[in-house]
A and B are shown apart, each in its own frame.
Chain A
């Protein structure tokens, strides 16, 4: 794979992560436990849609074939999406969605931080903008994890199960493949090993504060980054893409 292609693919991974997570989050609109949380969820989902648009547009620019944000979002098939498996998992209850958010954002914040120092100006600029939003998200999701973990007996049990269930999807974030390695070498991009150490430190600290038990690393699912997804993604895309697919080429 050429260096240029690696950068395009890597940018699309970042875009897909943001889009797929935002799509899951907007499924939760009008279903939050409190009106304040309703606003927070919409606000964060908006941040992710904004990030997805910036990453897709940049990927289109790099590719130079005239594809724009909507072409990437609406006209690609399931196996062309390269988001993490963690992010396409169904919402479940408030605790499930929260844990997914917490574990991803603890990683994403450090990833963006590393990207702000990379030598690719385009990616560094988007990362610099996104990290301001994600730092705030991290604070919000950490606080909620602590509230649920150290709340009632019921909430403690619920969120412990959420953590245990979703843990198997965290390994994929840190397994560097050909593209991750190329990005690290070519543009002084993120070192996933170093990010894993930072992530583990942060997660352990919050999980301990939440009086929860850190799950043991066992078998980890992978494949999302390479386009091999769970059964859930196809349904998400079918719903998300249907108007563009039914009326191709129209302006909306």
Chain B
């Protein structure tokens, strides 16, 4: 899973340290498609942009465990329960992997977690929507992981080596999740009328938030140009969104359910689907903390952290005792 909020947040990315010569040499390496590694010199703004992006991505994976975890105890078969649990576990694993990638840039996991818990750091707003019926689990796999893959495949070629390599592994698992989600919906759509209605209801609620995952329109995206120049980003938000719509509409047709957009139509000249206007006010509201589940998601994370404090302290105290015993 993934975050659309990659372009949100830090307002100071234009301020970069380094001499003009250093900056020029750095850009030359980027242009030559060389990977930047943790110990290489990099402009401060490049480092900060990556920390923001990778940590938001990690937070999204961790928070993303909640909406799907919501159905673990109620999954309707043991096979589905196992598949869902494996997926949720994968997401935790992605979080761990991404926190490690961000740590190569000189920030600690503790700091990143503190920023998440205090509400300072963002995570993907898609996870602030509720999962209210079983088909939502399929819709998340199909649409949310589907959108994530569109965003993340180009990140496998990101100029920062540790992030690019992390993405290769993450993408493989996300593709698997996407197919599992689609297969879940296909089973429902081939089932009873009630089951098909669950799938339609899920598509109705997840379609627009999924399109928002690609971030603001290109004209509004404030960090895109610099990120493109640094080859952190390879395609614009609108390009990726269009690609997603083109692929996904046909998949919905195969399922036999309707995309909830009366303006959606195939432009025969371009071969692309045109679609209706996204409700950007909703997007802004959810990012600002006013989505259906923002408060709940963050509070659950805060509670897990504070409930676990005595456990972490015990582990730390035990490790210190062991070290002292070994030294004695």
A46-B89, A49-B85, A69-B78 known; A31 and B307 CB under 8 Å? yes
- Is the C-beta of B304 less than 8 angstroms from some C-beta in chain A? yes
Instruction: Please measure, in the bound complex, the distance between the C-alpha atom of A56 and the C-alpha atom of B78, giving whole angstroms.
Output: 10
Question: CB-nearest residue of chain B relative to A249?
Answer: B192
A30, A35, A52, A250: which contacts B66 (Cβ < 8 A)? A30
- Is the C-beta of B310 less than 8 angstroms from some C-beta in chain A? yes
Question: CB-nearest residue of chain A relative to B95?
Answer: A35
B66, B82, B311: which contacts A148 (Cβ < 8 A)? B311
Which residues from A are CB-within-8-Å of B80? 252
Which residues from A are CB-within-8-Å of B96? 35-36, 39
Tally B residues with Cβ within 8 Å of A. 49
Q: Do B85 and A46 have beta carbons less than 8 Å apart?
A: yes
Q: Do A154 and B310 have beta carbons less than 8 Å apart?
A: yes
A29-B88, A30-B304, A49-B82 known; A151 and B191 CB under 8 Å? no
Instruction: Please measure, in the bound complex, the distance between the C-alpha atom of A42 and the C-alpha atom of B134, giving whole angstroms.
Output: 20
A26-B73, A39-B93, A252-B77 known; A31 and B300 CB under 8 Å? yes
Which residues from B are CB-within-8-Å of A121? none
Q: Do B69 and A29 have beta carbons less than 8 Å apart?
A: yes
Q: Do B89 and A39 have beta carbons less than 8 Å apart?
A: yes
Question: CB-nearest residue of chain B relative to A158?
Answer: B310
Instruction: Please measure, in the bound complex, the distance between the C-alpha atom of A250 and the C-alpha atom of B77, giving whole angstroms.
Output: 11
Considering the complex, which residues of chain A in the window 69-120 have a beta carbon less than 8 Å from any beta carbon of chain B?
69-70, 73-74, 93-95
B77, B191, B303, B317: which contacts A31 (Cβ < 8 A)? B303
Instruction: Please measure, in the bound complex, the distance between the C-alpha atom of A148 and the C-alpha atom of B86, giving whole angstroms.
Output: 28
User: Which of the 9-residue segments A161-169, A185-193, A222-230, A239-247 touches chain B?
Assistant: A239-247
Q: Do A151 and B65 have beta carbons less than 8 Å apart?
A: no
A44 to chain B, nearest CB (A): 10
A155, A240, A250: which contacts B191 (Cβ < 8 A)? A250
Which residues from A are CB-within-8-Å of B77? 70, 74, 244, 252
Q: Do B312 and A33 have beta carbons less than 8 Å apart?
A: yes
Q: Do B314 and A147 have beta carbons less than 8 Å apart?
A: yes
B85, B93, B311, B312: which contacts A29 (Cβ < 8 A)? B85
Which residues from B are CB-within-8-Å of A94? 307-308, 311
Q: Do B317 and A152 have beta carbons less than 8 Å apart?
A: yes
Interface string of B289-328 (1 = CB under 8 A from A): 0000000000011011101111111111110010000000
Considering the complex, which residues of chain A in the window 23-81 have a beta carbon less than 8 Å from any beta carbon of chain B?
23, 26-27, 29-39, 42-43, 45-46, 49-50, 52-53, 56, 69-70, 73-74
Q: Do A29 and B318 have beta carbons less than 8 Å apart?
A: no
B82, B88, B315: which contacts A53 (Cβ < 8 A)? B82
Q: Do B187 and A252 have beta carbons less than 8 Å apart?
A: yes
Q: Do A50 and B93 have beta carbons less than 8 Å apart?
A: no
Instruction: Please measure, in the bound complex, the distance between the C-alpha atom of A247 and the C-alpha atom of B311, giving whole angstroms.
Output: 42
- Is the C-beta of B72 less than 8 angstroms from some C-beta in chain A? yes
A27-B73, A147-B315, A250-B191 known; A39 and B82 CB under 8 Å? no
Interface size class of A (residues with CB under 8 A): 35 or more
- Is the C-beta of A146 less than 8 angstroms from some C-beta in chain B? yes
Instruction: Please measure, in the bound complex, the distance between the C-alpha atom of A42 and the C-alpha atom of B82, giving whole angstroms.
Output: 10
Among A42, A150, A158, A240, find the residue whose CB has the most chain B CB atoms closer than 10 A. A42
- Is the C-beta of B92 less than 8 angstroms from some C-beta in chain A? yes
Q: Do A252 and B76 have beta carbons less than 8 Å apart?
A: yes
Considering the complex, which residues of chain A in the window 183-214 have a beta carbon less than 8 Å from any beta carbon of chain B?
none
- Is the C-beta of A251 less than 8 angstroms from some C-beta in chain B? yes
A137 to chain B, nearest CB (A): 15
A29, A31, A93, A239: which contacts B74 (Cβ < 8 A)? A239
- Is the C-beta of B13 less than 8 angstroms from some C-beta in chain A? no
Question: CB-nearest residue of chain A relative to B192?
Answer: A250
Q: Do A243 and B76 have beta carbons less than 8 Å apart?
A: yes
B62, B86, B307: which contacts A33 (Cβ < 8 A)? B307
B81, B86, B314: which contacts A155 (Cβ < 8 A)? B314
Q: Do A150 and B62 have beta carbons less than 8 Å apart?
A: no
Which residues from B are CB-within-8-Å of A243? 74-76, 134
Considering the complex, which residues of chain B in the window 268-308 have a beta carbon less than 8 Å from any beta carbon of chain A?
300-301, 303-305, 307-308
List 14 contacting pairs A-B, 8 Å CB cutoff, sorted by A.
A30-B66, A30-B301, A34-B312, A38-B92, A45-B85, A46-B86, A53-B82, A69-B78, A73-B78, A94-B307, A150-B318, A155-B313, A236-B73, A252-B76
Beyond the given A95-B311, A151-B315, A243-B75, please list 19 additional residue pairs across the A-B interface where CB-CB is below 8 A.
Answer: A23-B73, A26-B81, A29-B85, A30-B66, A35-B62, A39-B92, A42-B89, A46-B85, A49-B81, A93-B307, A148-B311, A155-B311, A155-B313, A158-B310, A239-B74, A244-B76, A247-B192, A251-B187, A252-B80
